[in-house]
């Protein structure tokens, strides 16, 4: 961090830590005592500060509230077997938020703001990192456009905030998913690869429809023909068929998941055949009909590995093999956890120990 980058700290007078039941942490319900805030003005990041978690004060004409200039990330802090706080590939999250920023015409974040702010925040709220290996402190860095004015134009000012939330498992049971053949979350040439509010807003209505039919999430398909698989819910998607791990190749309507990349890397290390390519709905339905799908799951920071219980298509629900028999995803889930906990060697140097 450069000498010029100072973070002012104002600690809360009243910690909420003692009110939290760490054995019951629904996703996104509780927030740690402090947040990091930094403003972008006149082309530079300034006034970095850690303040008690609090409401924002924004003009109702702030650009972020009208045209969706809002980007975010999601990463997690864990405790390893030695009780140290660790992060998983945080530099990848900085890289990705800057790709999102570029696409949304927003300011680029520097390492000193993103990592400097995060590390200082974790130091102050270290007691909020759960000790249970199934739980973690979910970290939500986000940036909003703060120019006042409702003309459709990129903002010149931004605010970057990091808040944290102790969480347990994202899904408590295997997920029931169904192919979406009409609505889209993202389109070619659009913003699907960016982690930005609009993609999630677009997903809400079709997901609500699927939930009304008894599913938990959708499998998103391409917006032109609804022929090719893209993602599932808020996650990347993977299948194991004929002992081969297959996942849609990245393009501009698919988020470049950091868990996705980690799984592909480990699968190759283990000698699995890995294919990143176009996967048609027909191919998967055919494999489901012939009981050839050995494993199917979503991957993301929040859920890590979310097994699918069944896949719905055209009014038929195809049950997937029992979870206990899913050799690949069970081993992957355990290995990712063991790497974070420091129980196995971190060959790829993914774990960042917070000093
Ligand atoms: C994540 O896995 O971090 C996500 O983006 C899911 C989140 C939208 C809850």
Alpha carbon nearest to ligand 1 atom 4, residue: 302
Q: Considering the chain, tell me which residue range(s) the CATH 3.20.10.10 domain(s) occupy.
A: 175-341
**pTM, rounded to two decimals:** 0.96
Pocket test for ligand 1, best of 216, 301, 336 (most atoms within 8 A of CB): 301
Ligand 1, CB within 6 Å, residue ranges: 74, 234, 300-302
Residue 4's pLDDT is 67
CA of 257 to the centre of ligand 1 (A): 10
How high is the pLDDT of residue 1?
A: 45
Handedness of CA 41, 46, 50, 52 (dihedral sign): negative
Residue whose C-alpha is closest to residue 112's, from 144, 155, 160, 70: 160
**CATH no. for 175-341:** 3.20.10.10
Q: Is the dihedral of CA 292, 294, 297, 299 positive or negative?
A: negative
Maximum Cα–Cα distance across the chain: 63
Question: Could you tell me where in the chain the CATH 3.30.470.10 domains are found?
Answer: 8-167
How far apart are alpha carbons 137 and 305 in whole angstroms?
17
Q: How far apart are CA 42 and CA 49, in angstroms?
A: 18
What is the predicted pLDDT for the residue at 3?
54
Measuring CA to CA, how many Å separate 276 from each of 102, 124, 185, 237, 265? 25, 41, 21, 11, 12
Cα 232 to ligand 1 centre (Å): 12
What are 241-280's pLDDT values in tens digits? 999 999 999 999 999 999 999 999 999 999 999 999 999 9
Instruction: Tell me the CA–centroid distance for residue 3 and ligand 1, in Å.
Output: 34
Whether 61 contacts 172, CB under 8 Å: no
The CATH number of the structural domain formed by 8-167 is 3.30.470.10
What was the pLDDT predicted at 5? 83
pLDDT tens per residue across all 355 residues of the chain: 455 689 999 999 999 999 999 999 999 999 999 999 999 999 999 999 999 999 999 999 999 999 999 999 999 999 999 999 999 999 999 999 999 999 999 999 999 999 999 999 999 999 999 999 999 999 999 999 999 999 999 999 999 999 999 999 999 899 999 999 999 999 999 999 999 999 999 999 999 999 999 999 999 999 999 999 999 999 999 999 999 999 999 999 999 999 999 999 999 999 999 999 999 999 999 999 999 999 999 999 999 999 999 999 999 999 999 999 999 999 999 999 999 999 999 999 999 999 8
CA–centroid distance, 286 to ligand 1, in Å, is 30
């Amino acid at each position: 961090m450069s000498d010029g980058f100072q973070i002012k700290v104002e600690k809360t007078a009243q910690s909420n830590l003692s009110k939290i039941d760490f054995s019951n942490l629904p996703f996104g319900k509780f927030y740690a005592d402090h947040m990091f805030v930094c403003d972008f003005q006149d082309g530079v990041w300034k006034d970095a500060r850690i303040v008690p978690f609090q409401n924002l004060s924004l003009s109702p004409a702030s650009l972020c509230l009208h045209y969706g200039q809002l980007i975010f990330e999601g990463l997690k802090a864990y405790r390893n077997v030695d009780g140290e706080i660790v992060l998983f590939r945080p530099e990848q999250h900085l890289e990705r938020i800057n790709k999102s920023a570029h696409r949304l015409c927003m300011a680029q974040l520097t390492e000193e703001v993103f990592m400097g702010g995060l590390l200082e925040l974790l130091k102050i709220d270290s007691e909020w990192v759960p000790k249970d290996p199934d739980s973690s402190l979910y970290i939500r860095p986000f940036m909003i456009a703060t120019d006042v004015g409702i003309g459709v134009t990129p903002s010149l000012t931004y605010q970057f905030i990091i808040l944290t939330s102790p969480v347990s498992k994202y899904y408590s049971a295997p997920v029931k998913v169904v192919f979406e053949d009409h609505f889209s979350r993202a389109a070619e040439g659009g913003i699907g690869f960016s982690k930005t509010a609009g993609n999630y807003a677009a997903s809400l209505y079709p997901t609500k429809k699927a939930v009304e039919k008894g599913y938990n999430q959708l499998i998103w398909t391409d917006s032109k023909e609804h022929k090719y698989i893209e993602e599932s819910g808020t996650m990347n998607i993977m299948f194991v068929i004929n002992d081969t791990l297959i996942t849609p190749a990245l393009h501009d309507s698919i988020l470049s998941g950091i868990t996705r990349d980690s799984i592909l890397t480990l699968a190759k290390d283990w000698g699995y055949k890995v294919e990143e390519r176009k996967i048609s709905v027909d191919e998967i339905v055919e494999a489901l009909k012939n009981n050839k799908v050995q494993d199917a799951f979503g991957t993301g920071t929040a859920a890590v590995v979310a097994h699918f219980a069944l896949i719905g298509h055209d009014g038929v629900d195809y049950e997937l093999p029992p979870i206990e028999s899913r050799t690949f995803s069970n081993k992957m889930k355990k290995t990712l956890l063991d790497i974070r906990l420091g129980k196995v060697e971190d060959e790829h140097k993914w774990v960042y120990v917070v000093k």
